[in-house]
Chain A
């Protein structure tokens, strides 16, 4: 079963029961509303990034990973490049990071989007509750703007790595 080729995959991660960890699924919901009529985009959200998502990534010309960050300041919005990297980090269990997923797509299916970015929002709290903290709530308008600008620029110049 092969996923439909996509110009840009928006792939979010997070647990909506762990407060700011839910910002990824929240942004995926926003992106789905914003781009649902645009066939260039495909939006996926998962509680964890699992190896089979490599199939979806391999079918995309560009990918934007969306997640929360426990490292950056609460509410800080960061956009960074992601490159394929098959490091042992996270590999002992069944979930992977963005770099590992790209590497897996390349190794298994001979293709990974050359343009891959990671959008993160710094978490203020990862407690066991639904909803987002005030810091993350406050960051949502500029995060949505950045997400929109980013994915539109990604579909403007799709590039990919072939093996």
Chain B
């Protein structure tokens, strides 16, 4: 008799999801799926709105990475306006996006994943949380909180709000950077370096103890995609997309936002509300690819900042070609953060950074526009069509979690097949299957605010739907 194991909802993620594991008659894993169970509807209800409202509307998709939506949306609007924004505005947006990346990665690494990394995947779940981390390594807890604070405070200084700042608008930003705010951000940089270096050193020591997990946590050949600059260094806000194969060969380069849909298609599956992105020439699912920190480090030749370049060189020693194990997303996240801090420091020394000219203006000059940026979790693309009055007639968003969707599903299946035998599983196994998803740090729908606590429930069901076992925590 076949059985189904359901992990519902998965914990320590941004948003709500669940995992279903289908066992065969022998109790071994036949199939597994990661489900996103909420529908959001942003693409539909934005129809009829003026295009210039889109950045602030789209930012509401997410409370963790609103800045990426702001930036991608504003860029799509600027394509409609046919304007090039001032240099200073581009630099300020870049800094804002990097600050968001640092705070989001700090949340993912320190708050959501470090309990597993520090205390172990089999540790008592009653202690496997931030208090457990604080009790065991308080300096690590302080570093995580300080790095998140670093990113959030920059967002607050630039955009006047930690969450959903309205500062980024079509054409640039609403206000220039003040000398006082520049100096305040610069004063925070040394502490941020101290904290990220502490985290990198600590991770380097513990990573080897997870070799068994590295082998089976979504570890398979795939394509990778991300933004890079013309000099092949990493980029979060401008640049163009590069897509490589599992051996590191370049499949497509220089994919600008207006060419995104030529290269990337979206498939749907009956078990999830999230779409599944794929590289069109290879079809679905063969053309599925990964985005985010791991992909960024795999596609870039350099970080473009000295300290992060040293770390990138060390990262590339993990494999002769692209690093395939998704456990290494954790490592890549730390390199991203180091790069972010260095780049913010570089941007602040730009002689034009206090320039007052930070916004271009125009009306509707094209009836379609697309914009792309790197969100913390990976590439994000917004594409809009408008009528002659600038009202949205159609919108499409390709989010990072959708682009990682196939890899997450494959990863859940890989781990479940490795760990679950004869229908038996432990809490530690359950946590490992969840931890595979956490390596990607998916953002499912976090602005759908949940009231109350989210329990974790695991149900073991027969093929007929009869409840055979149930575990909650």
Contact = CB atoms under 8 A, between A and B. Distances in A.
B460 to A, nearest CB: 21
Interface stretch (B137-145, B218-226, B290-298): B137-145
Interface string B123-152: 001100111001100100110111011101
Interface string A103-124: 1100111000000000000000
Contacts of B111: 51, 94
Contact of A108 (B126, B142, B150): B142
A155 B135 CA distance: 31
Contact of A18 (B63, B141, B187, B451): B451
B63 A108 contact: no
Nearest to B63: A47
B452 interface: yes
B274 interface: no
Contact of A93 (B125, B188, B191, B454): B454
A107 B449 contact: no
A89 interface: yes
B12 interface: yes
Interface in A18-35: 18, 21
Contact of A70 (B126, B138, B144, B451): B451
Interface string A2-46: 000000000000010110010000000000000000000000001
Interface string B451-465: 111101000000000
Contact of B449 (A1, A18, A51, A54): A18
Interface residues of A, number: 29
B30 interface: no
B152 A104 contact: no
A91 B11 CA distance: 10
B131 A104 contact: yes
A88 B145 contact: no
Contact of B145 (A18, A21, A108): A108
A11 B153 CA distance: 17
B107 interface: yes
Contacts of B134: 104, 107-108
Given A92-B12, A92-B456, A52 B449 contact: no
Given A18-B451, A108-B142, A1 B129 contact: no
A45 to B, nearest CB: 10
A52 B148 contact: yes
Interface residues of B, number: 36
Contacts of A47: 63, 163, 449
A60 interface: no
A68 B183 CA distance: 38
B112 interface: yes
Contact of B451 (A52, A94, A108, A126): A126
A130 to B, nearest CB: 13
A51 B112 CA distance: 11
Given A55-B145, A55-B149, A92-B12, A86 B453 contact: no
B131 A91 contact: yes
A138 interface: no
A91 B298 CA distance: 33
Contacts of A50: 148
A100 B130 CA distance: 10
Contact of B130 (A1, A21, A46, A51): A51
A91 B453 CA distance: 9
B449 A15 contact: yes
A93 B153 CA distance: 22
A36 to B, nearest CB: 15
B145 A52 contact: yes
B288 to A, nearest CB: 28
B137 to A, nearest CB: 11
B142 A1 contact: no
A92 B454 contact: yes
Given A51-B145, A88-B126, A107 B131 contact: yes
A103 B131 contact: yes
Contacts of B187: 1
B237 to A, nearest CB: 24
Interface string A53-95: 0110000000000000010000000000000001011111110
A91 B129 contact: yes
Given A52-B148, A92-B11, A108 B107 contact: no
A108 B112 CA distance: 17
A143 B344 CA distance: 43
A40 to B, nearest CB: 22
B122 to A, nearest CB: 17
Given A1-B149, A52-B145, 9 more contacts: A18-B449, A50-B148, A51-B145, A91-B129, A94-B14, A104-B131, A104-B141, A107-B138, A126-B451
5 closest Cβ contacts across the A-B interface? A91-B129, A86-B131, A92-B11, A52-B149, A52-B145
21 contacts: A1-B149, A21-B449, A46-B163, A51-B144, A51-B145, A51-B148, A55-B149, A70-B451, A88-B125, A91-B130, A91-B131, A92-B11, A93-B454, A94-B111, A94-B112, A103-B131, A104-B131, A107-B141, A108-B138, A108-B145, A126-B451
